[in-house]
Amino acid sequence: MDPTILAAATINGLLLGGMYTLVASGLTLIYGVLHIINFAHGSMLMLAMFGVFYLLTKFGVDPYLAMVVMVPVMYVFGYALYKGVIGKLSNGKDENILLITLGLSILIENVALMLFKGDSRTISVSYSDRMIELGPTLVPLPKLISFAVALALCAALGLFMQRTDLGRAIRAVAKERVGARLVGIDVDRIFAISYGIGLATLGAAACLLMPIFYVSPTIGHVFVLVAFTVVVLGGMGSFLGAVVGGMIVGLTESFGGLYLGESLGQIGISLIFILILLLRPSGLFGARQ
Amino acid sequence: MSSTHSASRRLILQASAAAAVLGAPGLLLAQPKPVKVGLLHPVSGALAYSGGQSRLGGMMAIDEINAAGGIKSMGGAKLEAMLGDSQSRPEVGVSEVERMQQDGVSAYVGCFASGIALPATQAAAKYNTPFLIDVGVSDALVSRGLKNVFRLAPGNGKCVDDAFAGLAEVNKAAGGVAKTAVIVHEDSEFGTSTAKLLNAKLSGIGLEVKEVLPHATPTRDFTNLVLRIKAIKPDIVIMSNYQNEYVLIARTIFQQKVDLAGMFSVLGGGFNYKLVKEQPDVAQYMMDFNHWYSPRNPKAQEMRRQVEAKGGLFTFEVYCTYNSVKLYASALEAAKSADKAAVIAALEVSTWSDHFMPYGPTKFVNGQNQGGRAALLQASKTDIDVVWPNEFAGVKPVFPRPKFG
């Protein structure tokens, strides 16, 4: 195959990986702390993307500027949702949280369907189609920005977890819930904060994805399985894992598409998922149980 | 005396009241039974937008028919919508058919997607319930010998034939600039069957197919696929896929500045007013062979105004379902009953022409309306125009399209 196409596919795979990292970073935090699969992750991304869409179309707020609004709004929404619904209904049982988030995702998706209809929407801003020449290929500027921000976001979250008291408390709760409670950490509050931060990252992801992608009430399905694969591959709770996992999945999809066609190419993602579960269930950077 | 008068007045009032009460059921019985029309569409799941649009068209037709006095030959019987959601999944479509059957449905109109319509029509055939396909282009729908299935719009065989006739004419008028093509299609029944037909027939109009590129639904990124197209350097790209992927491919081709004489689609799911509104630069010059209304028909123009006044878009799903429901109503008028066999017999000999599609009077052969045809459309930055066939065309096509930069 033409080396320029291979180089272009590599660049494309990495950029695609950046997008997946964005969506997976919040999931890995929630997964790592709460130890549950947040089935509502895709629906929350969808809500955030609609938020960005309407901020632009109704109020003229640029998608990147919308981050100032979307990140805190999603944090508060996540915090309140955990405190008001998930935490209360779960009675401290992980399997309950799993079912509640599944129920929430169905509810949110159907309410969105009722409000927004099944319609897909795209936005057009001055830079949506601005292309940057990167080696043998042209890369849309929004994809480059999303890639850079995905890396920065994961680095910031990693630092936050390592260097701050709150980060240490979150890690303590993730590792030993009872022990954390014994040393005076308000575990429920940490859960709510983690859920809030997880959703806040989706707020950022939505702002970065909207200039590239479309939004519809079912958009969550398009990303959520890939995001889970990234988290499992990278190791739950690991932001470095989210970055590396995102890149591996992005490259797999890109080269799968190149060699097997876009129909079969995505099979690689499922294969990775199965292989990781079989060979290294804790993921590349996850702590071994 | 007065007491006698009073007593008799009371008696009369009581008798009147009794007559009214006793007579009411009789009056109710005299009202014709409503005809239950099953509108079966994917209003949730991946095809939810199109399903919602189809339902909108179906409901507009039912409301209009009822407002005009219902089915006159049946004593003004009203149509009653039974709403079904296939959730974009064939197996759910089948279970919805069964559910509606139990609830006394008289006919189905649906299903937007061929993959759902194939098993759904088969399920309805067990009960000999008429099934009017609004959108669903697979020719397998009307070639399995199911007597209950009728399709007003053209199937993909006819759409592709029309596409070839239109493409050949447009290309010839431009001096035969297009000589090679790449076909991109989604890999379910709809896209695959259309791509097969395209591939088999393109050489007949002097176009060499360089490559056929299938893709899954959903696909998140088309950069590699577009880079392959760029490397192949075809004169035209022909697509057959659903809305989201259509838009992503079109956008990526625009972003990667792939110079083409034209970008066509056959039944392109994303080619609509929304694409023009949201992505005018991407949409400009794109061409599509699709179901389309007769643009000069006043009824069509009025309906477009109505839909747009409510903030909606007048997409083909709306008026394909609208006209399919009206076709069913015309068969009820002719059959003078909702009896399934009588309606099927009426549809078989139907010559209905009160629609606003560019078809002429209906004539069904094995359930397929012989006059159904597709139009060639081209997007400008602000609207979509019919550019072929010439008798319906509002403007001339821009072909070849201007090169990038």
All domains of chain A, ordered by start, with CATH? Answer: 3-279 (1.10.3470)
| pLDDT of A288 | 55
User: Which CATH number covers residue B319?
Assistant: 3.40.50.2300
Residue from the list B49, B216, B248 with its beta carbon closest to the beta carbon of A119: B49
| pLDDT of A120 | 85
Q: Looking at the predicted structure, is the pLDDT value of residue A99 above 50?
A: yes
| Cβ–Cβ contact A270 with B under 8 A | no
Q: Which domain holds residue B245?
A: 157-290+376-388
Query: B183 and B286 in one domain?
Result: yes
Task: Please state, for a pLDDT cut of 90, what percent of chain B lies above it.
Answer: 71
pLDDT tens digits for A49-67? 999 999 999 999 999 999 9
| Cβ–Cβ contact A57 with B under 8 A | no
| Cβ–Cβ contact A216 with B under 8 A | yes
**Is B29 contained in some domain?**
no
pLDDT tens digits for B24-83? 544 455 679 999 999 999 998 778 888 999 999 999 999 999 999 999 999 999 999 999
Query: B122 and B56 in one domain?
Result: yes
Count of domains forming chain B:
2
| pLDDT of B16 | 55
Residue from the list A113, A223, A258 with its beta carbon closest to the beta carbon of B224: A258
Task: Please state, for a pLDDT cut of 70, what percent of chain B lies above it.
Answer: 93
pLDDT tens digits for B77-96? 999 999 999 998 999 999 99
Residues in chain A closer than 8 A to B221 (CB atoms): 12, 16, 253-254, 257
Chain-chain contact of A124 with B251 (C-beta, under 8 angstroms): no
| Cβ–Cβ contact B215 with A under 8 A | yes
Query: B178 and B50 in one domain?
Result: no
| pLDDT of A236 | 84
| pLDDT of B3 | 43
Distance, CA of B148 to CA of A116 (rounded, Å): 35
Query: B163 and B110 in one domain?
Result: no
**Is B12 contained in some domain?**
no
| pLDDT of A97 | 86
Query: B270 and B133 in one domain?
Result: no
Chain-chain contact of B44 with A113 (C-beta, under 8 angstroms): yes
Rounded to an integer, the average pLDDT of A2-15 is: 89
| pLDDT of B18 | 55
Query: B241 and B381 in one domain?
Result: yes
Query: B131 and B51 in one domain?
Result: yes
Greater confidence (B128 vs A174) lies with B128
**Is B26 contained in some domain?**
no
**Is B248 contained in some domain?**
yes
Residues in chain B closer than 8 A to A213 (CB atoms): 220, 248
pLDDT tens digits for B315-353? 899 999 999 999 999 999 999 999 999 999 999 999 999
